[in-house]
Chains A and B, each alone.
Chain A
């Protein structure tokens, strides 16, 4: 794997996804970056704007196992990770056999994840972080690459269970899926009203994705870039000396170290996508909203005033100087 191959492969996957998905260029790129960064994505948006289709199209363009879990209030953890069932062999002896659940895929669509109970939501914790599933004392390793793409509806909050902080922190990105613009809507109508609908073709295998993931990890980042990522994360903490002004007022808890990790790892992937072999401050600034918005927990005042965590993150970006060179000369 080299940088050129990486770029061409990435472009091919993006092209295939965009054959089906109209618009959402930034969203598609962020999802693919998360895939390369080996991170999970939480997609938030109103129903019917292509969240599920995006994930399905992505799975179709990659030669990866795909499963979809529709989260409902009565969904049980075993419905996700699988369960031991009693089987009987030819001799009539009975035995337990683990029946794998839908989590045992490489691309998992957790649709409307906030409709399941916290107990069921927590069933994803180990899989998302450790890439393993433990059942009855046995640990099952998930096949790489493993990507959880969860969706949630931000408006129909009745009967939903907001994701616990511990789980939401496992997502590399939280991406907001916006409604299509007028030209995009016209294009969607054009593509889906004909006798055939476009479909994505497989352009990359799981092995290729794993190679791309490993290659992205090799991208170096300058010290001041890493320092910038760390300072951005520290600035989300209201008690920190370098906290942003909005963070001090509206934030209860800032980002965990996973935020900084997410920024740097995703930045490396984005750098390669942008044709560079080094991480830039610009990469971090492009990804900071997706990486930190779900890690900033607002306090009561922030909730009461309807503060969007995006505003807090933007203010932090505006207040934290990116490089010491800005103050030179």
Chain B
């Protein structure tokens, strides 16, 4: 009887001891990891650490539970150890241990064996195991839980907070600076999109501006700032792919994901489309006024040239087909049909130009976001007057996209953003001010020779064409003679006063001489 009682009590002690050891180990494992998480949270106010403290905290608690389970299952104490613990904790003078050894045969047989077991059982029955051998979690587990809560709360409360003069503060300032820059980028992007009729870009621009404001005013840590930039970057990439997918059937080469370091040829394509639109509209206008066979044959030559891809071979495929169709209609005497075809072509090209502008604007936004992400990721302190080296470099290469223009002095990082315009934040066509384009300028016929202006920072890549040939008659708003003479006089005067590149000097001179000769 005493034997069973004693073994039962020892078994209870074993269970309690196993639970206690499990909580001990689990608590300490959790305490170590959650303590480390808390230290990391505090360290983030000094050092920019992109460490998922919340994840570490949860992992610490999970590891504690796992360790407790493993210890509970794999490291169950022996009955002898449980007996020793009972003796030690309840001051049983080694009664229980000796009795367990007697029962398990460890001890030499003795006439006192029965008395030993009886004595131990009598003492053990008076013990309250729960009082000194509780199976509940010890204080360590509670401390670990408290540390976990503290790590999460402090991590949330100290998000974006940094001590002055520390590397973390540099990152914070970089985030705010990039926020200001993105705010300006968004505004510029919106204005440009409005001018270029880039609907998608105009829709995206407020997101960029909002992102910039959030980077400026919200307390974000580096990881969160980079995450938001990345999210917007993905959204813009999806928009860009959609625009590209829509543009592809209308012609033009597909654009891969833009590289922040490589210039895009979208601007060149858009310029070519602009030129083609102007040529088609000019042809359509002239078609209405042409009566003589010579004029008609001249128009047919121009349409044939367009159908052949233009002088530079960059007329979109769809426009070529339509130009060929118009040429056939014109050849068949269907002037009205040819004009309708050309007007439809111009409309299609307008859409294409908008899509190119969208794609270009979105690429530029991606480049800006990528640049901001790089700056924030590096956390490099940048002086307020440090120029945008990448943009400047691209500009100096002569092929900088419009969005790559460096900020002027008045647009420095510390300058407040200008007030929003009347159409800012609205969808195309819904603004208070209707956008209007100026009157189209008739072009001259003749062979063109392309040249490129080098070395001067301006509105991106500039392509000029030298036109040699007779001018086309068109509607004019001022008398031709005095205007040409006045222009020639002004040209001479300015050419003598201004610094003009030699090759342009000759172009301008010949242009005005040609005008003077024709009048």
A280-B77 contact given A220-B113, A325-B84, A328-B17, CB 8 Å threshold: no
- In residues 211-263 of chain A, which contact B (Cβ within 8 Å)? 218-225
Interface-central residue, B17, B97, B111, by most chain A CB under 10 Å:
B97
Taking CB as reference atom, which chain A residue is nearest B89? Answer: A325
Is B519 an interface residue when CB atoms closer than 8 A count as contact? no
Is A282 an interface residue when CB atoms closer than 8 A count as contact? yes
Q: Scoring B residues 64 to 90 as 1 if CB is less than 8 Å from chain A, else 0, what string do you get?
A: 000000000000010001001101110
Determine if A220 and B102 form an interchain contact, defined as CB atoms under 8 angstroms apart.
yes
- Minimal beta-carbon separation of A173 from chain B (angstroms): 22
Determine if B21 and A224 form an interchain contact, defined as CB atoms under 8 angstroms apart.
no
Determine if A219 and B77 form an interchain contact, defined as CB atoms under 8 angstroms apart.
no
Is B289 an interface residue when CB atoms closer than 8 A count as contact? no
Determine if A224 and B85 form an interchain contact, defined as CB atoms under 8 angstroms apart.
no
- Minimal beta-carbon separation of A261 from chain B (angstroms): 16
Taking CB as reference atom, which chain A residue is nearest B138? Answer: A329
Determine if A323 and B115 form an interchain contact, defined as CB atoms under 8 angstroms apart.
no
Determine if B88 and A326 form an interchain contact, defined as CB atoms under 8 angstroms apart.
yes
List A contacts of B87 (CB < 8 A).
323, 325
Determine if B112 and A218 form an interchain contact, defined as CB atoms under 8 angstroms apart.
yes
A329-B20 contact given A218-B111, A323-B84, CB 8 Å threshold: yes
Determine if A277 and B84 form an interchain contact, defined as CB atoms under 8 angstroms apart.
no
Determine if B99 and A278 form an interchain contact, defined as CB atoms under 8 angstroms apart.
yes
User: How long is the Cα–Cα vector from A276 to B120 in the complex, in angstroms?
Assistant: 9
Q: Scoring B residues 354 to 372 as 1 if CB is less than 8 Å from chain A, else 0, what string do you get?
A: 0000000000000000000
Is A125 an interface residue when CB atoms closer than 8 A count as contact? no
Determine if B94 and A222 form an interchain contact, defined as CB atoms under 8 angstroms apart.
yes
The one of A2, A3, A225, A328 that contacts B94, using a Cβ cutoff of 8 Å: A225
Is A281 an interface residue when CB atoms closer than 8 A count as contact? yes
Determine if B93 and A223 form an interchain contact, defined as CB atoms under 8 angstroms apart.
no
Q: Scoring B residues 92 to 106 as 1 if CB is less than 8 Å from chain A, else 0, what string do you get?
A: 011101110110001
- In residues 258-303 of chain A, which contact B (Cβ within 8 Å)? 274, 276-282
Determine if A278 and B119 form an interchain contact, defined as CB atoms under 8 angstroms apart.
yes
Is A324 an interface residue when CB atoms closer than 8 A count as contact? yes
Determine if A221 and B93 form an interchain contact, defined as CB atoms under 8 angstroms apart.
no
Q: Scoring A residues 94 to 119 as 1 if CB is less than 8 Å from chain B, else 0, what string do you get?
A: 00000000000000000000000000
User: How long is the Cα–Cα vector from A221 to B94 in the complex, in angstroms?
Assistant: 9
Determine if B84 and A324 form an interchain contact, defined as CB atoms under 8 angstroms apart.
yes
Taking CB as reference atom, which chain A residue is nearest B86? Answer: A325
Number of residues of chain B lying within 8 A (CB) of chain A = 31
User: How long is the Cα–Cα vector from A218 to B110 in the complex, in angstroms?
Assistant: 6
A222-B101 contact given A278-B93, A329-B20, CB 8 Å threshold: yes
Determine if A223 and B110 form an interchain contact, defined as CB atoms under 8 angstroms apart.
no
List A contacts of B113 (CB < 8 A).
220
Is B259 an interface residue when CB atoms closer than 8 A count as contact? no
User: How long is the Cα–Cα vector from A3 to B89 in the complex, in angstroms?
Assistant: 26
- Minimal beta-carbon separation of B199 from chain A (angstroms): 71
Determine if A223 and B101 form an interchain contact, defined as CB atoms under 8 angstroms apart.
yes
List A contacts of B88 (CB < 8 A).
323, 325-326, 328
Taking CB as reference atom, which chain A residue is nearest B133? Answer: A329
Taking CB as reference atom, which chain A residue is nearest B93? Answer: A280
Determine if B116 and A325 form an interchain contact, defined as CB atoms under 8 angstroms apart.
no
A223-B106 contact given A280-B94, A328-B17, A329-B20, CB 8 Å threshold: yes
Determine if A279 and B94 form an interchain contact, defined as CB atoms under 8 angstroms apart.
yes
Is B107 an interface residue when CB atoms closer than 8 A count as contact? yes
Determine if A278 and B94 form an interchain contact, defined as CB atoms under 8 angstroms apart.
yes
Determine if A329 and B110 form an interchain contact, defined as CB atoms under 8 angstroms apart.
no
Taking CB as reference atom, which chain B residue is nearest A3? Answer: B115
Determine if A276 and B93 form an interchain contact, defined as CB atoms under 8 angstroms apart.
yes
Determine if B93 and A282 form an interchain contact, defined as CB atoms under 8 angstroms apart.
yes
Determine if A329 and B24 form an interchain contact, defined as CB atoms under 8 angstroms apart.
yes
Taking CB as reference atom, which chain B residue is nearest A216? Answer: B112
User: How long is the Cα–Cα vector from A282 to B97 in the complex, in angstroms?
Assistant: 14
Taking CB as reference atom, which chain B residue is nearest A2? Answer: B115
Is B440 an interface residue when CB atoms closer than 8 A count as contact? no
Is B291 an interface residue when CB atoms closer than 8 A count as contact? no
Interface-central residue, A218, A224, A225, A328, by most chain B CB under 10 Å:
A328
Could you pull out 7 A-B pairs where Cβ atoms are within 8 angstroms? A225-B94, A278-B94, A326-B88, A328-B81, A328-B84, A328-B88, A329-B21
Given contacts A218-B112, A324-B81, A328-B84, 17 further A-B pairs with CB under 8 A are A218-B110, A220-B108, A220-B110, A220-B113, A221-B98, A223-B106, A277-B119, A278-B93, A278-B94, A280-B94, A281-B94, A325-B88, A328-B88, A329-B17, A329-B20, A329-B21, A329-B133
Top 4 closest pairs, chain A to chain B, by CB: A325-B84, A325-B88, A278-B98, A280-B93
